[in-house]
Amino acid sequence: MSLRVLGAKAAASLDKELMSTQGFSLDQLMELAGLSVAQAVYKTYPPKSYKKVLILSGPGNNGGDGLVAARHLKLMGYHPSVFYFIKSAKFEKLEIQLHSFGIPLYLSTDSQDVVGDIKRLVMSHDSIIDALFGFSFRPPLRDPYNQVIKGLIASGKPVISVDMPTGWDVDEGPRAAAIPQDEVLEPSVLVSLTAPKPASVYFKGKYHYLGGRFISEAIAQKYNFDVPQYPDLDQVVRL
Ligand SMILES: NC(=O)C1=CN([C@@H]2O[C@H](COP(=O)(O)OP(=O)(O)OC[C@H]3O[C@@H](n4cnc5c(N)ncnc54)[C@H](O)[C@@H]3O)[C@@H](O)[C@H]2O)[C@@H](O)CC1
Ligand SMILES: [K+]
């Protein structure tokens, strides 16, 4: 299924509009985004064979989607763990939820060796959710994220990227001039949120899902993108 894409600038304006004139709260959007991610993970890497899932959560809303996904994955029968970079006060309640669900939460601020700690966690998990950066990212990756991505590439573990493969330019993709080519993550699953971003045409993995079943036809028309038919009660549709 080929859908119209939503560039970085348009995605940021849509985000603002959803939370102003459209009356949504960040919590609502993030809950549905995180649920979509968890459903896509379940469809591709079910808990029977991929029980231990590590969520790498970045400092922005992409990271927040990862925190929500962790809770849903636990309810779906996984053993999730979260490594969280630079915790934000706005996600304090999500953190409390993770604690009350007994989900291990590792904080970058508590680590003396972020890159080494993440490498060890990656090796002891069956799949990795990349919720580091989404549509507000501008390459190149700053330290230590560049080292983290290199470690993830070297691990060969299955990676599910939330909205954007971390490190890619949202509009130009993985070959943008600013991106060192040894930092190009190639996830096996991409869960685009709301609408695929232009870079998604370079995605080579097997499973591309669209999630974020919260968009009205009217707002999609205004921003020039498509709302596909989601199957039954699913929060994701395979593209
Ligand atoms: N309306 C929507 O479309 C929704 C979007 N959501 C999520 O929100 C994401 C966007 O969130 P945000 O706008 O908070 O931004 P991101 O989470 O994409 O990233 C913002 C952070 O990235 C850092 N950053 C940018 N470039 C960097 C670099 N080169 N090296 C290191 N750090 C860098 C910034 O300092 C900032 O802390 C989307 O991709 C999606 O995952 C969902 O939560 C809910 C609904
Ligand atoms: K990501």
Secondary structure (H, E, C), 91-104? HHHHHHHHHHCCCC
129-182: per-residue pLDDT in tens?
999 999 999 999 999 999 999 999 999 999 999 999 999 999 999 999 999 999
- Residue 1 is predicted with a pLDDT of 82
- Residue 226 is predicted with a pLDDT of 95
Q: Do residues 193 and 134 touch, judged by C-beta distance below 8 A? A: yes
Q: Where are the domains of the chain?
A: 8-224
**Atom 31 (ligand 1) nearest CA:** 142
CATH H superfamily, domain 8-224: YjeF N-terminal domain (3.40.50.10260)
d(CA 231, CA 64): 26
The ipTM value here is: 0.97
**Atom 3 (ligand 1) nearest CA:** 15
Name the residue with tokens 């970045």.
58
ω into residue 140 within 30 of 0, thus cis? yes
- Residue 45 is predicted with a pLDDT of 98
Known binding residue 23? Answer is no
**Atom 45 (ligand 1) nearest CA:** 29
Known binding residue 175? Answer is no
- Residue 235 is predicted with a pLDDT of 98
Pairing of strands 105-107, 79-84: parallel
How remote is the CA of residue 49 from the centroid of ligand 1, in Å?
A: 30
- Residue 87 is predicted with a pLDDT of 82
Instruction: Enumerate residues lining ligand 1, CB below 6 A.
Output: 11, 14-15, 18, 29-30, 33, 58-65, 133-142, 145, 162-163, 193-194
Ligand nearest to the CA of 165: 2
Residues, Cβ < 5 Å to ion ligand 2 = 130, 161-162, 166
Which residues in the chain land under pLDDT 50?
none
Name the residue with tokens 């090796």.
123
- Residue 27 is predicted with a pLDDT of 96
Amino acid making up residue 127: S
Determine phi and psi for 56, rounding to 5 degrees: -95, 110
Q: Do residues 232 and 213 touch, judged by C-beta distance below 8 A? A: no
